[in-house]
Structure 1
Amino acid sequence: MQFAKLLTQEQVERVHSASLDILEEVGLLVHNEKAREIYEKHGCEVNKETGIVKMPAKVVEEYRKGFVPRYTFTARAPEFDRTIPDNRPLVVTGSSAPNIIDPHTGKERRATSTDIANIAYLINELPGFDVFSISTLAADAPKGQFSLSRFYPALKNCKKPVRSNTPDMKDLYQVLELGYLIAGSKEAYFERPFINHHYCPVVSPLTMDVESTEAVIYLAEMGLPIYGTIVPNAGMTSPMTMVGTLTVGNAEFLALSVLLQMVRPGNPVIYATLPTVADMRTGNYTPGAIETGMLHMAHSQMAQFYGVPSGGYIGLTNAHSNDAQSGYETGMNTTAGLLAGVDLFNMGGLLDSLTAFDFAKAVIDNEIAMMLKRIKRGMEFSEENLCLDLIKEVGPAGMYMDKEHTVKHMRNIAYLPKITSRDMRSQWEDEGKPDTHTRAMQEVEKIFSGDTSSKFSAELDAKIRAYFPGIVPGDVCWNK
């Protein structure tokens, strides 16, 4: 597949050299002491008074030699493992929204661990999604179990790879203990580490925090799956030009990825970003803007230059409901990203600038995801598919509908959507004029009418609950 490009090769190389200049001359403010020590040990200049770390170009160039071209998301069940770029587009839910649109009342409220269980079950059943990045927080989390209250219901109800983060090391250790219990032992877990970790240790502009950086270093040392996302915001935390924002974000990606190579050579990375351009009329955050898609296209070119997979939060929306804005923001940005070579799409289920999960939105996004996967398949060019013999047989003014060839191919050539309406207007009117949101919620209800029992055995669940007294139920509950 030929990729669309916004930058020439010369421009890509200039962004790279400018990023090296930034890292060597401006540096990064690194708040984590261990990270500063690692950088210094490997040839960087550390100002112990200011915490500024300056990275010589030769050091960056040396450690980026360790970048590897693939990243695998491991699942509890091996058949759900996914590797990029081989399995692109890899479609992932949006994550960590504080709120949810209640599926029964339509009102926005704080999300709970039961909501996470319900979302996990839904994502497990939607074929367009490859990875469940835990979509919400859990307002009902018992004290001391913030992250357990998210990972437990997620892992309990979804066999696909599960991805999220933790606010501190204590929570990270708890989540890993949960993984050991599910796997049967620590050794078994390390053979197949099915909890996928993601953090944003670099805070634009050019700053590295304490807790997330600590977690990233620890996980890299342990050889567990970990990658970070870079989040520059033009006009706020990066220059108000797209090339300036691209360059700052690229420098931040290099700084984090070089650190991971210093900790463990060959550590897989994803060039993951959420680049935005602020709406300076209000200062509002704009993840749904077309510039987000354009920046992803450019970052994907940089990733191709470095030989690593790319992606991140693309296909998000600022819309408050499943309206035209929601559809065109998600559809335009993800299509642009796919055509430019983006591999990973955190695109599913969130409305309102990443603040609220909506079940209907997830089903709509599943349909968009399936369309993206259809684009990726391409036209499958071959002499057989030219169909010259068939065209000669049918001839002018003929009909293909009754041909065996049509029956053979009609289910695999076209993606057949479940909620997109293709009916005549009269039939649509007879059905009550349902809009896309309504049809999506009908599909949600259909999915939850099936078997929603836990994906854990009763024995395993009892073991987990005994190990973590007071843990949330973690079960699917679709009560109105």
Structure 2
Amino acid sequence: MNAPAAELTEQTHRRGGGRLGRKAMRSAPIASFPTLVRQIPVYEIVPDEAVELIHEESLKILEEVGCEFRDDGAIELWKAAGADVRETRVRIDRALLMELVSKVPSEFTLNARNPERTVRVGGKNSIFVPMYGAPYIRDLDNNRRYGTLADLNNFHKLAYMAPALHSSSSVICEPMEIAVPKRHLHIIHSALKHSDKPFMGIVTSKERAEDTMAMAAIVFGEEFVRENPVLVAITNCNSPLVWDATMIDAMRVYASHNQPLILAPFALCGASTAASAVGAVAQVNAEALAGVALTQLIRPGSPQIYGQFMVTVDMKTGAPMGGTPEAAQMMYLMGALARKYKLPWRTSGFHVGSKLNDAQAGYEANMLMHAAILAGANYIWHSAGWLEAGLTCGYSKFATDCEQLVGWYKYAGGLPFDDFKEAMAAIREVGPQGHFLGTQHTLEHFEKAFFMPSIMDFNSYEQWKAEGAKDHDTRGREKARNMLADYEEPKLDEGIADGLKDLIARREEQLPDSVS
């Protein structure tokens, strides 16, 4: 069952009270929703025959065209498995492919350092995860600039404070002042220090993935991380049809440690796929299945997440476009395929092309989140902060997204009927021409009956003007400031904290200050 989202909405989004009111709430644990268990049906955008057609064409792509695996170790694994290997091109027979894909568990537990934040991935479960990889941020003064470690710390704090976020991600923004060879150490440390929710691993090299696992072992224990998922890592196929050495290196590290990977082609439809939504899905499905299959050659039975990142391209400028109807339609198709294969699957939520937290951002974000929810996505990534096609993470956007996720959590959790008899009794009590404001039912339920966002403004024009005529972007920044002011660190055990610091210091001595 889901958490009573409306109850937590009232606690975490209440207007008024000011600084003292917020301070008084600090003694209580930070509200955090459990895994969303969807209570609404998925939406099938096409009939089963269309899904079968796409599946069949994906199999033909892998059998007849093949996929490149630019890694000697991967090639040896495919040869040993009986695939048709010619240099780096691998053609995979459908029987072999589907046998490997069938080894992936349909659900798994993703463990957090605080067991109360542990979540389930797959089946009817959905989790919301912040964005990843922004070099720029739009700060609390509405300036666009490079991200810093202080910004990354702040975004991890905000992720911890947001009740409907189930993960702290990792590289929400790049700490650009830290040397690239050493940056990953501080990214993972920030995620582990400032939040006790699940996090994401680093994939930009084999060594950085190994460092991530070493840090996870300090926090969770070496024996525990050998068998239990404690993080998720992203690997992207280079569309069309190339899995490169860097991604396969990371895949090998994490899969061998039984840590789930997201196998997600990064596809710009019309540029790296055909200019066809259905054709793009057939290609991306083939790419994702090939990646999933390789993980099962590395460690059979390891948990994995099938996925995609597909956006359309503005054919006038070449720019990726966010919340388009085609992107939403492709989500529905990928969801149907994931259910066919019984695989947990990933998509994106609030990813937009807008530069500001404005009307365009709102339209784009909700076009995609609505599709993600109704398509039954399990790991809904980029659910907070995303601006400018992922180049920027905005404080205002992050706070807005976190608040909207509470609404989506409630929407997908279904309609409660637990107080229906009481509501009917209230109707009989009031009768014609009365009002319900003073009834016992209203007094008992008004605080939790409805989603009550605090950033959105529903006041009269006169009241809005008297309070400063603030636009939504301004209110979002104010919300982010308040959340940061209320933050209290979920402390690591002293021995664990010291162990992380020692590892970072040792590795920083060993690593260069620049990329050779």
TM-score by length of 1: 0.92
* Counterpart contact for 2:45–2:332, Cα < 8 Å: yes
Could you tell me which residue of structure 1 aligns to residue 28 of structure 2?
Answer: none
The one of 69, 89, 92 equivalent to 1:52 is: 89
1:132 corresponds, among 149, 155, 168, to 168
Instruction: Flag the 1:250–1:451 CA change in 2: closer, same or farther, 3 A.
Output: closer
Pick the aligned partner of 1:375 from 401, 411, 414.
Answer: 411
- On the 8 A contact 2:195/2:489 being kept in 1, the answer is no
The aligned residue for residue 455 of structure 2 is: 419
Query: Counterpart amino acid of 1:379?
Result: L
Q: Name the structure 1 match of 2:274.
A: 239
1:475 maps to: none
Instruction: Report the alpha carbon displacement of residue 386 of structure 1 after superposing the two structures with TM.
Output: 8.5
* 1:289 alignment partner in structure 2: 324
Do the aligned residues in 1 keep the contact of 2:227 with 2:257 (CA within 8 Å)?
Answer: no
Aligned residues with identical type, % of pairs: 24
Matched, 1:264 2:299: yes
Q: Quick check: 1:16 aligned with 2:55?
A: yes
Between the aligned partners of 1:190 and 1:252, the Cα distance in structure 2 is 28
Is the partner of 1:103 in helix, strand or coil? coil
User: Match of 1:233, SS?
Assistant: strand
Q: Say if 1:274 and 1:314, in contact at 8 Å, map to a contact too.
A: no
| Residue type of the alignment partner of 1:334 | M
Of 327-336 and 139-148, deviating more is 139-148
- Please say if 1:307 is aligned against 2:342: yes
Q: 1:102 to 1:448 in 2, by over 3 A?
A: same
Equivalenced residue count is 467
What letter corresponds to residue 20 of structure 1 in structure 2? L
Q: What pairs with 1:345-364 in structure 2 (closer than 5 Å)?
A: 345-346=380-381, 347-364=383-400
Give secondary structure in 1 for the equivalent of 2:320: coil
How far apart are the structure 1 equivalents of 2:245 and 2:235?
Answer: 12
Partner Cα distance (2:460, 2:265) in 1: 46
The alignment partner of 2:90 has SS state of strand
Q: Does residue 61 of the first structure (1) align with residue 98 of the second (2)?
A: yes
User: Is 1:76 paired with 2:119?
Assistant: no
What is the letter of the counterpart of residue 53 of structure 1? V
- The 8 Å contact of residues 161 and 487 in structure 2, kept in 1 or not, is answered as no
- Which shows bigger deviation, 463-472 or 369-378? 463-472
CA, structure 1 residues 92+143, in 2 after alignment: closer, same or farther (shift >3 Å)? closer
**Structure 1 counterpart of 2:23:** none
What do residues 320-368 of structure 1 show as CA deviations (whole Å, max 9, x unaligned)? 1111001110112101221222222222102111001111110100122
Q: In structure 2, what is the equivalent of residue 477 of structure 1?
A: none
Post-superposition offset of 1:249: 0.7
- 1:326 equivalenced with 2:361 (yes/no): yes
Q: CA RMSD in A?
A: 2.1
Unpaired segments ≥5 residues, structure 2: 1-39, 509-516
After TM superposition, give the deviation of residue 76 of structure 1 in Å.
0.9
Report the CA distance between 1:234 and its aligned residue.
Answer: 1.4
Which of 221, 236, 242 aligns to 1:207? It is 242
Shift of residue 188, structure 1, vs aligned partner: 4.3
Task: Specify which of 24, 45, 69 is matched with residue 6 of structure 1.
Answer: 45
Who is 1:182 aligned against? 219
SS at match of 1:147: helix
Which of 132, 142, 145 aligns to 2:182? It is 145
1:38 corresponds to which residue? 77
Check conservation: 1:112, 1:137, Cα contact below 8 A: yes
Query: Quick check: 1:331–1:368 contact (8 Å CA) kept in 2?
Result: no
Cα distance in 2, alignment partners of residues 341 and 451 from structure 1:
32
Conservation of the 8 A alpha-carbon contact between 1:163 and 1:197: yes
Distance in 1 of aligned mates of 2:328 and 2:249 = 31
Partner of 1:448: 484
- Of 194, 197, 200, 1:163 maps to 200
User: 1-side partners of 2:463 and 2:298: how far apart?
Assistant: 62
CA distance in 2, matches of 1:287, 1:309: 23
User: CA offset at residue 259 of structure 1?
Assistant: 1.4
Q: Please give the alpha-carbon distance, in whole angstroms, between the structure 2 residues aligned to 1:390 and 1:454.
A: 43
TM-score, with structure 2 as normaliser? 0.85
Secondary structure of residue in 1 paired with 2:399: helix
Q: Deviations over 1:274-305 (max 9, x none)?
A: 11111111111123333222211211111111
Asked whether the equivalents of residues 123 and 132 of structure 1 are also in contact (C-alpha less than 8 Å), the reply is yes
Residue of structure 2 in register with 1:344 after alignment: 379
- Specify the alignment match of 2:25 in structure 1: none
Cα deviation per residue 1:114-155 (whole Å; 9 max; x = unaligned)? Answer: 211111111100112111212011212246312112111121
Q: Which amino acid aligns with 1:356?
A: T
Are the counterparts in 1 of residues 114 and 197 from structure 2 also a CA contact under 8 Å? yes
**In structure 1, what residue type is equivalent to 2:78?**
Y
| Partner residue in 2 for 1:405 | 441
User: Are the structure 2 counterparts of residues 391 and 348 from structure 1 closer, same or farther at C-alpha, using a change threshold of 3 Å?
Assistant: same
Question: Is the 2:289–2:306 contact (alpha carbons within 8 Å) kept by the matching residues of 1?
Answer: no
SS across alignment from 1:196: strand
Separation in structure 2 between the aligned mates of residue 398 and residue 339 of structure 1, nearest angstrom: 38
SS in 2 for 1:456: coil
1:196 aligns with 2:235: no
Equivalent pair of 1:162/1:196 in contact (CA under 8 Å): yes
Q: CA deviation at 1:471?
A: 8.2
Provide the secondary structure at the position in 1 that maps to 2:102: helix
Q: Secondary structure at the match of 1:311?
A: strand
- Shift in Å, 1:92: 0.7
Change (3 A) 1:121 1:63: same
Residue number in structure 1 paired with 2:264: 229
| Partner Cα distance (1:70, 1:385) in 2 | 36
Q: Is the 8 A contact 1:44 1:55 kept in 2?
A: yes
Are the counterparts in 1 of residues 347 and 372 from structure 2 also a CA contact under 8 Å? no
Counterpart residue number, 1:154: 191
Give the Cα separation in 1 of the matches to 2:491 and 2:395. Answer: 20
Letter in 2 for 1:326: A
CA distance in 1, matches of 2:120, 2:342: 15
Distance apart, 1:438 and its partner CA: 1.3
